[in-house]
Each structure stands twice: as structure tokens, then as C-alpha cells.
Amino acid sequence: MRLKTTFMTNILEVVRAGAGSGKTFDLCNTVAAAVADDLDPARILATTFTKKAAAELKGRVQAKLLEGNGHAYADRLELAAIGTVHGVAHHLIRRYSIEMGLSPRLEVFEEGGNRVLSDLLGGIPLERWEALSSSANRLGVIDLSARILGLLGVKRGNRISDDVFKAQMTRSAKRVCEILAPDGPSANESPINMLFDLADESLAAIEAITTDTQKNTAEAKQKLRSLRSGKGSLWGTYLDAGKIAAGKKSGADACLDELRLHAAEVRRNPALHADVKEFSRLLAEETIALDSQFVAYKTERGLVDFTDLETLLLELLNDETLAKRVSKDYDLVLVDEFQDTNPLQLAIFQGLRALVPRNRWVGDSRQAIYGFRDTDPRLVSEVWDRVPEKDRSTLPDNHRSQKGLVQLVGKLFSPHFDEDPTQNPKKPALSKGVERWLFDSKNNPDEACALGCGIAHLHAEGTAFGDIAILERGNARLKSLAKAFDELGIPYLIESPGLFSTREGELLLAGMRLVANRNDSLAAATVLHLLSDASKATPAWIVDRLKSLAEAPLDDETGRPLFELPWNSNTTIAPLETIDKHSLSPSLVVQQVIEALALPKHVHAWGNSARRCSNLDSAVRHARDYEALAFSGDGSATLNGLILYFEQLAAEEADLRFTPQGHDAVTLMTYHGAKGLEWPVVVLSGLDSDRDPDMWKPVVRSSTFDDDPLLNRELRSWIWPYGESKNFFTGKIDRKADKPLETAALSTLEGIDQGIRESDENLRLLYVGCTRAKQKLVFAHRHGKYKSLSKLSIADDLLDPTQGEGEHGIEGVDTTLVIRHLSHDAVDDFRIETDDHQTWFADNATIGVALSIPRFYSPSSAESMDENFTFECTSLTGESFFPGKVDESSFVMIGDAVHSYLASLPSLATADESIKTAVAERCLSAFSVTGIIPASVLVTSGDRFTAWGEAAYPGATWHAEVAVSGPRDGGGQWDGAIDLIFKLPTGELVVVDHKSSPIRRDSCETKAREYVGQLLAYEEILKGADATVVGKLIHFPLAGVVVSCND
């Protein structure tokens, strides 16, 4: 066989390859044809965007070359540069590393980058961090680290220099100020505390109105008090103040006019503008500093990350000498999934295009759905459009979907795409290829159950669970589906946390602990228990252990039992003792623990073996991730380190259970995750998603298009000025709502452009979902709730949801439509019984008694027992205090404020009146009850109690807020805090519990009876610590009464 280099005319071919059109087949044929023309396969460079896709591409090309007598060609392909963009970059950089002044052993920093960056952020000097944090607090920015890391990512990914980055951050801040106040900030700069002064004046004016009993007036007073609490951002407080309203008839609402007028001018407040600009400046400085520190860290250790690989490759291609080497080494460049290229990668491909004779880029702009990863479809389209017509081609056929679905997708999307989405179907038509499921539900959980009923319908009609995929817009909705499927008994596949909460996960981790420390009796007991017969009330391993302890030989000197390894010579544990934890890598130890405990055999006996075996594979995968993390972080991977890593994953709910392959279960996945995949049946959910564009996250755009994709890249980083909060349920960041500002931002040229971009991407996302189906496509949504689907202008015309249930024709489409009405009320009719039930512990019924009781008990929950008690009430000097009419929720805050002040009494023993008053005011402000109780009441209550206590227990030491814990006679542990303990000179103790109930003095004895159980619990704890309790008191500070409880 003769191999020779063929220099072809330097050309770029672009190929539009729609869904299912056979682009990999096209790439294979391109290589085969080139090799037939005497191209050396070693002179091929090919990139795609996942390792799996790269492996598939290489395998299929080799298979194509092996057809006939091409073994030598297939062998030469091993020398080609085929892989992901990062993989190819690493290959080329190592190939030319000496010339580039780099080590040939350059290590890729694949894992741990964010951890290192977080550590570097933690090393910012305190004075700099305080300045940035103070600025962030005024604007309500809650995750500074994430914001800096995000900015660093876009700075590096777009090769923005430090000076340009600073200038663009400054322009961004200036643009926000222009949106806030198009006519500029106010010339009158009011004091920063003016809002709070006006709030105090409004509160005083409203409280002077004694005739107003309206609910909104009471709420207004509470909101005015809350303004001073310091909760939330400074500028967000202005929004809150502007929304406060009170009763109008009484004149209370008019008292708020000046406050609301001042708050309404917040967007023109010069101090707000100054804060936005200052925060943006500080962000830019810290991002640049972090970039420099990260470069130094990697340089010292000889590391590069993925962005470095791309940057270094681009530098290589721009080096005249090295570029000539590349030009001589490669004759054909293939780029797969070109539409998902980011600007830095596009610059690389453009560089290769200038050097290599033939380039072929294959992709589909209709499937460009990764805008959030810094891809820029417009930039890619611009390059595409510049290619001469003769070098453009289209793969016209669809080899994936049945004829009716291909026709339907073409009709639905033709009005919306510049490129015609119609394809030539190569698969025959099938009936009932489209379904529309209409849910009679009002919330997400009910919708998920209704969807599950639809899946059960399909399964009952003969569709295997494994043939179905459900696509959702986000992971939160997938979790809701998983919960509903658990209830219905429908098997499903989803990457979800909880690996080390499964029986096999717990067992594996216990085995690892035992290998790390053979003396770990808890780990040994866990292993034996999880492998024992869970139906027995007293497992055999407990009997064996008790017998071993009872028969243990005694030490001749001490008379105590000699120490022996727990379950020494046990046949289950013995194989673990043979594992060499010192010479094996942690991931190999994991695999040996799996074998030593015969876990593959056990998981088959436990049922649901595919899922369980996949969980074991997941543990090995996590172990390898840990090793890569330790290696890239310049550390060592150890078994103990891996155990801690697994425990951390479990604590953070990051112990993912990866999906098994070949299991008959419904696939639950996001639209983005489904890219490149296919299933016989695809159900599209999340069809009512229609959110406004997010103008407040960093993005980079090209202001003009040029041959250099990185030229004219403009960062937009707008700061939302009114504060953020983390959503408890979704974990996402929510911004404090201000519709006028949002509307103003969306109305700008940038907002209009962003709206068009996101609308286009949402349309492409729906196209990707529709083209995953091979036989049946299902649109699932509530009645009248399908905003994203309705963006397809003829969707309702073709798939009329008002038709009755059953099968209907579709005009111009060779399949039929099935309408189903589904309700969550039918769950019981579709529940699938399963005998795959995990039993780890015996049922209560088997034992006859409760297996467990709560571990911890609060003394305040103790049941009161006052039959044998006598009560003695002592009235303190001064009057009782009763707060005015307040809502019930305020009583808790009042109690917290009173307790906080009384806890400070030992520290205020020598303080003067002014200091006590200041402390009282801070306590009231902290719990938003300023104005409900005067500070003087707290001071008076404290002073009279102090005088009484010093007289009643002279020489006693006062201990406030004493945390206590001790065994409970009825089982479990007491855990709580005692408000006050008098320690007498004799060492005896008197327990005091403060109760802030605003009650009359003659009711205090009756009220005190309710707390006897709590006092007895405290006494039980203290007696367990060998202390003697000689007094138990209930103190009612607002009433001014001390009740002694004597048994």
C-alpha cells in the first residue's frame, strides 16, 4: 500500500445536517472518499463535543475503512487527532510542546478548578474583601464568589484583556445608571439614613392615632418597625417602604406620604448610582486579581485547564513557525456539531481553516441550544453565510423518525426558521404517531401524577417503559416527576442524589471504613446488619457479639476483658482484611470491597438488580473523580480521603446515582440533556414555560462581525440594585421584584436583542425535543397552559386540543393524533404493584414493641406534672406592662427580645442607665419589635429582677443561657438551654426560666403550673451531672412576678 500526501485547494465546506440526517455517516464517507484518493488517515484532525461522540466517530470511521481490505488505513487512523476540542488541543500542544516552551508532560487540570479558585478567593486580604462585601450588602448581592467566578469565566473564555475588562465593567455600570434614571441622578443628595428617619416619623404619627383598628394599619406599623431591622439590602428597603399602606379613613395612610414620596425617588438617588459604579469597579479588580493568582497557581504546578488548552492552541496556530508545521502535518479537518461552537473555539477552527487544505464543518443551526455556555449562534451563522454557495450543502433525508413525524415537524417549524426544516422521511408512516395529553390539574405535583397516568396508559397498550423518554425544562420538575412515579410504581431513570442512602451504598461505605480501620466496631456491625436477615427481631450478629464480649478472656493485672477485634475471624468480614489499602489506589479498594462483600450476588437477591448494580458503578465513578480531583489539586488520593469525600457528597446531596444502561424504565431528562439522543416515544413536558429574558447575568456579545470571532466582544454585566435571595425550593437566585425597572431594561436595545435571542433559542429547544422521537411524539400540558408550544403559529390548527378524546386525522400529515384527558384523581387506577421492597429492619409487628424512640427531646416539650407541687408567688416592685394590640406573630418576637435582654443581665451588673437602654434598644430592633415595647420596660424588668435575685441569693454567681444535655429517664437525650442558673456559695443551684407572657399578676401561678415539666427536665439533667438543685423558679418579667415551684 502506498501512502502519500495530497495537497488540495484550501477550501471550507459547510454542511447543514438536520436531526436524524446521518451526519456521522457523512463524515465517515468523507474520510473514506479522501482515503480512496490516497489521503493518509494519520493526517486527519477531527473534533466533536463529547468524548462519547468522539469515540463513536472514530469507531465508525475505522469500521468504514476496514470494509474491503483497509486494515492498514484503519491502523494509521490511530495516529490521527480525533477527539473533543480539548482533547485535540492537548494532542497538538504536546506534539509541539518543546517549540512552545512547555513541558511535554503538561497535565490537564480537569477537576478541582472551582475548589482552587474558591480557596484563592478565601485568601483575599480582609480589608479588600470587607470593601467588596460592604458594597455588595447595600445592593443585596448574596453570592459574591459565584459572581466573581462567572465573570472570570467569560473574561477568560473571550480573551478579554484586563484593561478592556475594566472598561467594559465600567460601561455596564454606567448603562445601569442610565436605565435607572434616563435624565440622570437627582441633584439633591439626601442623607443615607433619611428613609429610616422618615419611617420613624411615620410610625410615631400613626401610633398617635388611637382610633384606627384596621388590619392594614397594624401591618403598616409592623413593616415600619422592620425597616430598621437591617434585614435585606439598603436599596431594596426603599421598594418595601414605597409599598406600605395604612387605613385611609383615620388619616394613617396620609402619614406615609412623605416616606413613600422619598422611596419613589430611589432610582434617581445619587448614592444608589455611586454604589452600582463602586461595586462594579471592585468586582472588576477582584476578578482580575483572581485571574492573575490562578495563572500563578497553575504555572507553579505545571497545570492547564480546558480554557488554557484552547488558548494555547490558538497561540500555536497564530505562531508563524508552528503554523507551518501544522500545515505540513494535516490535510483534512472535520468539525462535528459546529453550531455549538463558542467564539474561542471558532477562532481555533478559523485558524485551522487558514492552514489546512480541506475543512468540512457539519452542524445544524436549528439545534443550537447552548447559549448559556457562551455559544453565539449569530456568530456561527455569520461565518456560515460567508461561505460561497458552491461550498454549502444539505443532508436532506431523515433516517430516524417515522414519516408522519418528519412531516409534522416540517410543518410546525417552517414558519419560524430561516432555513427550511422540512426533510425527506426514509421511515414508513405509522398511525397514532402524535398525542396531546390535557391535564385536569392545578399544580405541579398533580400535573406530574396525571403525566404518570398517561405513561401507565401507554404501558398498558404495549409500550415498554424503556422505550419512553420524558423531557422537561429543568431538573426541579424532573424531581417532581420522580416522586409521582414512585407513588405510581413506574420505574424510571434519572441522575439523582442518595447513593449512600441505599442499602448497597451504606454497605460499601461501611466496608471501606472497616478496611481503613479494622477496629471500627460500628462499621463492622453495619456490614453484618445489612447482610443479615432483616425479618429477625434480634439479628444473629448481635447475639454473637454479646456472647463474644461475655466470654472474652480477662487481663491478669486489671481483671478487665482483653481487647479483641470486633467479630474476629468472622467469615463475612475476613475477606476485607486481605485488601491492601496501602498499595492499591482508592478506586481499586472500592472495587475490591465490592468483591470481598460479594455485593453483586447480594444485589441480585435484593431485587432491582440493574439499578443497584448501577449504584455500585456510580460509587466507582465517584472514586475515580476523587482521584482526579486529588491529582489535579497537587495532593494525594488516600482511602481515608475518599471516605471523607463520599461523606461530603452525601451531606451535600451530590452523591449521584448515575442511570443504568439497558434497564426497562422511563428516561427522565432535560431537553438540553436529550441532544443527540433518540427514543421510540418522547413526551414533551414543561410546555408552559415563557419567562422574560434575564438581563442581569453576565453575557458577551459581538458588536460587529469580523474574520476574527474574538474581535469586538463586548461584556455586559448589569447589577440588579435591589437585592437577591435564594429560593428555598429550587436553590435558584430570586431578585427583589421591581416591575418598572425590569420593563425599562427589557425596553432597551440590549433588552430587545436579548428577548429575540432567548425566544429563538427556546424555539430551537422545542425543535430538539420534537426531533428525538422515532415513532410517537406526545405534547403534555394542562388545559390552556402551553405558552411555549403556542409560539408555533399553526400548532393548534394541526393538533386541535378542542377535539374530543380519541383518534383524529392531521391535515397533510401521514399519521393520526390521539387526544387524552388525564387527571391525578386516577392515580389509584394506574398504580403498579411491585414486590421489589427493601427491608433493612424488622417490622414493628414482628417485634411487638416500638423499635425506636426519638433521640433528642426538648425540655420545653416535657409534660407538666404539678399535682405534688406548691407554688409561692412574689410580686416585684413596679407596675406590670401589657403591650398594645399586636398580632399573634409578634408575641414570639417579643419573647425573643425580652429573653435577649435578660440574658445580658450578668454583663450589665455595673452598667449605667444609658448603657442598659442602648442594649435594650438593640434587642428590640434585632427582633423588629421597636415601638411595641419601650426600652425602658426591659430595663425596669431587669433591674427589679436583679435587685430581687441579689437579695434572695446573696453571693450567688449568675450564669445565663446555659446549654445543657443529659440522659432522659424515659429514653433518649434531653437537649436544651436554661435561661438562668444561680450558683450559690454552697455549690447548690437554683434554676430560673423566664416567661415573657404579658399576663396579669393574679394569673401567674396558674400559668406557672404549665411549666413544671420543663423545670423537672432541667433538674434531671443537672442531677445527672452530680449537681444539687435547691430551687426552681418561673420569672414573668413583664408582669413583675417570680413563682417558686416546690415539690
Q: What are phi and psi of 519, to 5 degrees?
A: -85, 0
Whether 944 and 1031 share a structural domain: yes
- pLDDT at residue 527 in the model: 84
**Nearest C-alpha neighbor of 928 from the set 221, 336, 102, 161:** 221
Whether 386 and 346 share a structural domain: yes
CA angle 599, 603, 606 (to 5 degrees): 140
Higher pLDDT: 361 or 109? It is 361
62-66, 738-742, 974-978: which is most confident = 738-742
Q: Which residues of 984-1019 are buried (b: 16+ CB within 10 A; e: fewer)?
A: beeeebbbbbbbbbbbeeeebeebbbebbbbbbbbb
- pLDDT at residue 110 in the model: 60
Residue 962: enclosing H or E segment and its boundaries? Answer: strand 957-967
* Mean pLDDT to the nearest integer, 626-650: 78
Q: Is the pLDDT of residue 494 over 50?
A: yes
CATH of the domain at 478: 3.40.50.300
Q: Decide if 478 is inside a domain.
A: yes
pLDDT band at 56 (very low <50, low <70, confident <90, very high): confident
How many other C-beta atoms are found inside a 10 Å radius of the C-beta of residue 761?
A: 17
Mean per-residue pLDDT over the chain, rounded: 85
Q: Is the pLDDT of residue 8 over 90?
A: no
Whether 761 and 900 share a structural domain: no
Q: Is the pLDDT of residue 455 over 90?
A: yes
pLDDT band at 837 (very low <50, low <70, confident <90, very high): very low
Q: Is the pLDDT of residue 519 over 70?
A: yes
Whether 535 and 585 share a structural domain: yes
Which of 264, 283, 314 finishes a domain? 264
pLDDT band at 849 (very low <50, low <70, confident <90, very high): very low
What percentage of the chain carries pLDDT values higher than 90?
A: 43
* Mean pLDDT to the nearest integer, 387-396: 90
Q: Cell digits for 602? A: 447480594
* Structural domain containing residue 39: 11-110+305-395
Higher pLDDT: 263 or 926? It is 263
Higher pLDDT: 636 or 217? It is 217
Q: Decide if 1033 is inside a domain.
A: yes
Whether 474 and 508 share a structural domain: no
**Nearest C-alpha neighbor of 944 from the set 850, 1038, 876, 1029:** 876
- pLDDT at residue 851 in the model: 38
How many other C-beta atoms are found inside a 10 Å radius of the C-beta of residue 606?
A: 18
Q: From residue 436, how far is each of 404, 613, 788 by CA, in Å?
A: 15, 36, 15
* Mean pLDDT to the nearest integer, 137-159: 91
Whether 483 and 576 share a structural domain: no
Whether 919 and 799 share a structural domain: no
530-568 per-position pLDDT tens digit: 887 655 544 554 545 555 555 556 666 666 655 556 667
Amino acid at 264: A
Low-confidence winner among 168-177, 551-560, 679-688, 1013-1022 (lowest mean pLDDT):
551-560
* Mean pLDDT to the nearest integer, 747-773: 93
* Mean pLDDT to the nearest integer, 834-851: 39
Q: What are phi and psi of 763, to 5 degrees?
A: -65, -40
| Secondary structure E strands in 336-481 | 358-363, 392-395, 397-402, 424-427, 434-439, 468-472
- pLDDT at residue 973 in the model: 78
Low-confidence winner among 127-131, 376-380, 460-464, 889-893 (lowest mean pLDDT):
889-893
Is the separation of the CB atoms in 396 and 423 below 8 Å?
yes
251-260, 667-676, 1008-1017, 1038-1047: which is most confident = 251-260
Q: From residue 993, how far is each of 27, 243, 960, 1017 by CA, in Å?
A: 80, 41, 10, 12
- pLDDT at residue 661 in the model: 62
What is d(CA 133, CA 141) in angstroms, rounded to the nearest whole number?
Answer: 9
Q: Is the pLDDT of residue 604 over 90?
A: no
742: CB partners within 8 A, 6+ apart: 692, 695
Whether 74 and 146 share a structural domain: no
785-803 per-position pLDDT tens digit: 999 999 999 999 999 999 9
What is d(CA 812, CA 410) in angstroms, rounded to the nearest whole number?
Answer: 11
Q: Is the pLDDT of residue 811 over 80?
A: yes
Q: Decide if 709 is inside a domain.
A: no
Whether 518 and 567 share a structural domain: yes
Q: What are phi and psi of 494, to 5 degrees?
A: -160, 140
Q: Decide if 722 is inside a domain.
A: no
CATH of the domain at 971: 3.90.320.10
Q: Is the pLDDT of residue 855 over 80?
A: no
**Nearest C-alpha neighbor of 819 from the set 876, 846, 780:** 780
- pLDDT at residue 830 in the model: 79
- pLDDT at residue 681 in the model: 97
Is the overall model pTM greater than 0.75, yes or no?
no
Whether 29 and 154 share a structural domain: no
What is d(CA 209, CA 953) in angstroms, rounded to the nearest whole number?
Answer: 46
Sign of dihedral through CA atoms 1027, 1032, 1035, 1040?
Answer: negative
What percentage of the chain carries pLDDT values higher than 70?
A: 90
Q: Decide if 283 is inside a domain.
A: yes
Q: Is the pLDDT of residue 414 over 80?
A: yes
- pLDDT at residue 344 in the model: 92
Low-confidence winner among 294-308, 627-641, 927-941, 942-956 (lowest mean pLDDT):
627-641
Q: Cell digits for 199? A: 419611617
1000-1017 per-position pLDDT tens digit: 888 888 888 888 889 999
Q: Is the pLDDT of residue 569 over 80?
A: no
Low-confidence winner among 80-89, 549-558, 1029-1038 (lowest mean pLDDT):
549-558
Q: CA 580 from chain center: how many Å?
A: 37
- pLDDT at residue 865 in the model: 67
Name the DSSP letter for residue 658.
P
Q: Is the pLDDT of residue 1039 over 70?
A: yes
Region of residue 943 (left: phi > 0; alpha: psi -120 to 50; beta: else): alpha
- pLDDT at residue 538 in the model: 45
Q: Decide if 992 is inside a domain.
A: yes
- pLDDT at residue 848 in the model: 37
Q: Is the pLDDT of residue 844 over 60?
A: no
**Nearest C-alpha neighbor of 929 from the set 198, 213, 223:** 223
pLDDT band at 2 (very low <50, low <70, confident <90, very high): very low
Higher pLDDT: 149 or 497? It is 149
Whether 572 and 693 share a structural domain: no
pLDDT band at 105 (very low <50, low <70, confident <90, very high): confident
Q: Decide if 445 is inside a domain.
A: yes
- pLDDT at residue 635 in the model: 59
What is d(CA 39, CA 957) in angstroms, rounded to the nearest whole number?
Answer: 93
pLDDT band at 55 (very low <50, low <70, confident <90, very high): confident
Whether 129 and 19 share a structural domain: no
pLDDT band at 407 (very low <50, low <70, confident <90, very high): very high
- pLDDT at residue 551 in the model: 55
193-238 per-position pLDDT tens digit: 899 999 999 999 999 998 888 889 989 998 898 887 767 789 999 9
Q: Decide if 404 is inside a domain.
A: no
Report CA Rg, the chain: 36
- pLDDT at residue 727 in the model: 62
- pLDDT at residue 839 in the model: 39
What is d(CA 122, CA 216) in angstroms, rounded to the nearest whole number?
Answer: 46
Amino acid at 135: S
254-274 per-position pLDDT tens digit: 999 999 999 999 999 999 999
DSSP letter for each residue of 101-150: T--TTPEE--S-HHHHHHHHHHTS-HHHHHHHHHHHHHHT---HHHHHHH
422-431, 500-509, 552-561, 819-828: which is most confident = 422-431
Q: What are phi and psi of 8, to 5 degrees?
A: -100, 165
Count of the separate structural domains present in the chain: 6
